[in-house]
Amino acid sequence: MGSRASTLLRDEELEEIKKETGFSHSQITRLYSRFTSLDKGENGTLSREDFQRIPELAINPLGDRIINAFFPEGEDQVNFRGFMRTLAHFRPIEDNEKSKDVNGPEPLNRRSNKLHFAFRLYDLDKDDKISRDELLQVLEKVDVEQKMSIRFLH
């Protein structure tokens, strides 16, 4: 399956994802194969049901909220780009990234983006009910860079 998946991913698309999310080539192909294996409808997008089929998520108290976080406002399908964009929040911040140019687009795994992601999880109806400043202030002590990062496999 892995080989089939990787062939379906076009090179230019892969490059764009790489640029946008900072994942490496091998990570993207691996995650793409995961994506296609989740995609039971085989239409290149994931629906909420696809996510809900993951057994572990069913018993995760935050499961529904996390699934919601994958879907942009008002949509109930997410394509691979969107999928990767969400996962990119959880990439650890590499040393060489810290010194990267400030002018480029803000990387998704920045502290502020990680925080924003966490914030959106708390804020279910998306009307900024928990004031953002306060959350940031409260989380100042939490080592968000570490705690909101996963070392993805290659």
Which residue ranges make up the site for another protein (CB under 8 A)?
30-31, 34, 37-38, 51, 54, 56-57, 59-63, 66, 70, 87, 90, 92, 95, 118, 121-122, 124-125, 129-130, 134, 138-139, 141-142, 146-153
Closer Cβ to another protein, 13 or 149, answer by number: 149
Q: Which residues of 83-108 are buried (b: 16+ CB within 10 A; e: fewer)?
A: bbbbbbbebebeeeeeeeeeeeeebb
CB closer to another protein, 59 vs 102:
59
Q: Are 46 and 35 spatial neighbours (Cβ–Cβ below 8 Å)?
A: yes
Residue type at 142? V
Minimal distance, residue 103 CB to another protein, in Å: 26
